Amino acid sequence: EAGVAQSPRYKIIEKRQSVAFWCNPISGHATLYWYQQILGQGPKLLIQFQNNGVVDDSQLPKDRFSAERLKGVDSTLKIQPAKLEDSAVYLCASSLRSTEAFFGQGTRLTVV
Amino acid sequence: AQSVTQPDIHITVSEGASLELRCNYSYGATPYLFWYVQSPGQGLQLLLKYFSGDTLVQGIKGFEAEFKRSQSSFNLRKPSVHWSDAAEYFCAVSNNNDMRFGAGTRLTVKP
């Protein structure tokens, strides 16, 4: 079975620019997560979707971050404008009900 | 508040020695419990999981973990560490699809 696909793998942008990440979850997985992993820390949940509805976005900085999951499949995460502290790896994961989450390889964002 | 604690930021063990990584959680009810491993530049790979039943669970790569309800712990163990086990290890808990991670323990393996 195909895994969680993310693109791009790497992105370097200047502060105040915008950036978008894309995620294609495992087929049939209703739950999709976006995590932010800052170097040396554990993944922090940004937003969780159940199908195309938001379950939890309490830790999403909504003044600059947005995410959508159209048609309950693919998802995009956007940052606009980016700050230096947004430099991190952005991980997408999907799961079937409350079983384990399957992770993509992540997008490493560097803001300079 | 719900939380996951991994008390050890960094552990160094000799190759062939035994390993135990600690994980404690604070949740209202017994959540689902997981251990993930992350090698440099890679995503997270599931080592093992506990949902219910036998409190000692076996995972991949020779790892096992024991759930202790009285201590709210889910410690990861391996009897003999290999150099390839050097990585970052994350404990995670899930309750109603809300998956949270600990800060991780970095494992260094000495030759």
Q: Do A41 and B103 touch (CB under 8 A)?
A: yes
Alpha-helical (H) ranges within A10-108 are none
Contact yes or no for A54/A72 (Cβ under 8 A): no
Q: pLDDT category, A80, cuts 50, 70, 90?
A: very high
pLDDT computed for residue B1 by the predictor? 65
pLDDT computed for residue A1 by the predictor? 61
Q: Do A105 and B32 touch (CB under 8 A)?
A: no
Q: Can you tell me the mean pLDDT for A27-55?
A: 92
d(CA B25, CA B27): 6
**What is the spatial order of strands in the sheet that A65-68 belongs to?**
A5-7, A19-24, A75-79, A65-68
d(CA B97, CA B102): 16
Q: Which residues pair with B98 in a beta bridge?
A: B95
pLDDT computed for residue B89 by the predictor? 97
Q: Do A45 and B99 touch (CB under 8 A)?
A: yes
d(CA B105, CA B111): 19
Between the alpha carbon of residue B29 and those of residues A58, B7, B32, B35, B98, the distances in Å are 21, 21, 10, 19, 13
Q: Can you tell me the mean pLDDT for B76-98?
A: 91
Burial of A34 (0-12, 13-18, 19+ CB in 10 A): buried
Low-confidence winner among A18-22, B76-80, B92-96 (lowest mean pLDDT): B92-96
Q: Which of A42, A100, A106 sits opposite B102 (nearest CB)?
A: A42
pLDDT computed for residue B94 by the predictor? 85
Contact yes or no for B23/B11 (Cβ under 8 A): no
d(CA A91, CA B9): 21
pLDDT computed for residue B97 by the predictor? 65
Q: pLDDT category, B36, cuts 50, 70, 90?
A: very high
Q: Which of A44, A95, A103 sits opposite B44 (nearest CB)?
A: A103
A74 Cα to chain B: minimum distance (Å): 18
B111 Cα to chain A: minimum distance (Å): 24
Q: Can you tell me the mean pLDDT for A40-68?
A: 92
Q: Which residues pair with A59 in a beta bridge?
A: none
Comparing CA positions, the residue from A108, A58, A111, A107 lying closest to residue A82 is A111
Contact yes or no for B39/B105 (Cβ under 8 A): no
Average pLDDT, chain B: 92
Q: Do B102 and A101 touch (CB under 8 A)?
A: no
Alpha carbon A32 to its chain's center: 9
Length of chain B: 111
